[in-house]
Chains A and B, each alone.
Chain A
Amino acid sequence: MTSADQSPVRGADVIIIGGGVAGLSTAWQLKKRGLSVLVIERQQLGNGSSGRAAGLLGQLRGTKAATKMLMDGLQVVYDLEKQTGLEIFVQTGSIRIAETEERSQEIRRLVDMGRSIRFPIVDLEIDKLQERLPYMKVDDIIDACFCPTDGHIQPAELVQAYVKAGRAEGVQYITNCRVEKILVEGGKGVGVQTAQGEFRADFIVNSTGPWSYYLADLSGTSLPTAAIGHYYLTTRPTDKVHVGKRSPAVRNRHHRIYSRPESGGLIVGMYEAEPDEYNIEDLPHDFDMSLMKAARDNYNVALLIHQAQQRFPWINERTPMTITSGIMTFTPDGKPFCGKLPDVEGLYHCAGFSGHGIVQSPAIGTIMSDLITRGETEYNISEIEADRYFELPELRDRVEVKARCADMYGRYYGQIEGQSS
């Protein structure tokens, strides 16, 4: 990685602020289209949310547009694997389960939608469930479906692959360099101010994850994202329970949990109703997400363990495990913001992935570079346009934004998909 003083680059066609998966994917795609690209990261590449993620890839989402994006993204991942020789995607298949009539209907709606766009789905007999998941309690499950092409993306490998591929194309990366200000002249973003001086560009991308609203503030505009805490546990393999590498991921919305295999143990994460909220601007400048730890009596961790136990009865507070604590970026509707806002020309936002940035990032890179180089994209992006809340004055108020984002996080597994918006 070059440091700014030695580097001849003091600008580029595009400056990408934030070296998480969103920024790295966008940088690589833009460079492939011939633009010069400079990524500026306050710490190490991938050390923000991207370094904490579980990486679950469930392609069956509430809408066709969202599902299509994930299906295309997976093709990008396969290309990246070929190009870099890294194993990024682990295809385990994934299972959605329902223990109530409402949840069963939710699954049926998703299955219908998925089949209408030829997404492979297998109906699963309940008695076959136990065969596939010997370590899961199944006696209260009334419906399930299996998506064989799902699995998980290994976040560290994805970050590495983006950088390897990007570097091969000629993307420049500057690390340990915090952007202090986005320079706006005559209503247009023209560069950034950092501890290592100024850098100039025609296009600037704000892909700073949990910091995105703060960076937007610094450039005099406003982006309604919020920083929300999230936990998952990883059990260690034991003599009694060994979770195979290809054991399917599970989504159990009724209990608000998801799971997937990890190194012979099991990852279980939870979307609790009342998440921790963070003010990213109050954290020290050198705040390092990889050092976050949960207290022994953390309520949400206790809740996570409790919920995990409902589905995996062998898990309890004494099970040897590690707790991963991180910060996600949420938006009021759980969809990211991708594109420009009307008040600052040349400044593009790419943030707010609401717990799904790892798996959305491959397609998002294409979408962002479409928008920057052509001003349009073949993708249906009406749900993720950056300016969709721009006219709402209440979404300029931090208190209101935080409340709505936390509420969205709480409803993420809480609500029945396909019933409300």
Chain B
Amino acid sequence: MTAVPIPLSDLRRRQPRFTGISPGHRACQGCGELLAARLVTEAAGPDVVVANATGCLEVTTTNWPDSAWRVPWIHSLFENTAAVASGIEAALKAQSRSSKVLAFAGDGGTFDIGFQALSGMIERGHNVLYVCYDNEAYMNTGVQRSGSTPVGAATTTSPAGKERLGKRHLKKDILSIIAAHYMPYAATATVAYPADLRHKVRRAIEVEGPTFLLVHSPCPQGWGHDGSRTVEVARLGVQSGLVPLIELERGAVTGVMPIREPRPVADYLKAQARFRHLFADSAEAARELQHLQALAEHNIERYGLSAPGPEAHDSEGADTVRRGGNQWA
């Protein structure tokens, strides 16, 4: 079979034209968070202002005198990103400027310490897209547990040991909490499905008001997998049902990425050292594994993720079908 050459002009058209983050930053190889942020800024385009929380994304991209950012960007503190973004948005409004304000933060800066500011920003209806890069722990400070760390995961402050099987508490259901603000648009996405992610970024930017994206972003360093397997691990998260990809408008589910053949949660967990202790030969470990499997099944049930038969954009084919394809032509 001979490959049909794509005319250069067409190739260009299909390529994202704009990159918000330049190469040369200092993130680990295979960092899901950096990949996610690059995809988000590509989809958002150049007419944005970014407020970024303290965390890996900030630290690895702005080592003075270098900056990887090609968009106006400000970092203030760890927990005030939504408030800084609120101020920027208020200023733009006062000056009749129309650029979109983006707020970027990790899961720690969103689920935990920055939550109050985020809730306030949403309640006040600021026109800001808030993106949480969810790597499920405080990575920048050395992999400590956060409100987003899944139950059973070992971190440096929820280690596994004789008496403990990693984190003892459930991952906070942040999306439901956000949606409870009568949120115009809130969605989950992952680096495993860039086309889906881009679509959601564009949708969120269209909305005149607060929007929220939770982007599942594997961290090879903290999760204990090779940097070359970031996308694969992220995909397994979706296919197991543990990481449901959904869209909510005013609290109602308006879109889901279906899973044709759910993979066992163990496939996802086995790929990561942070869950290694769950595969020990003990009744407790087996029970925790079952627990995680049940959580995944609960997600599938709750959001109606099962899709029998082939689907144009299910978790098997979504990325290949939609990459630069019919959706964006």
Q: Do A and B bind each other?
A: no
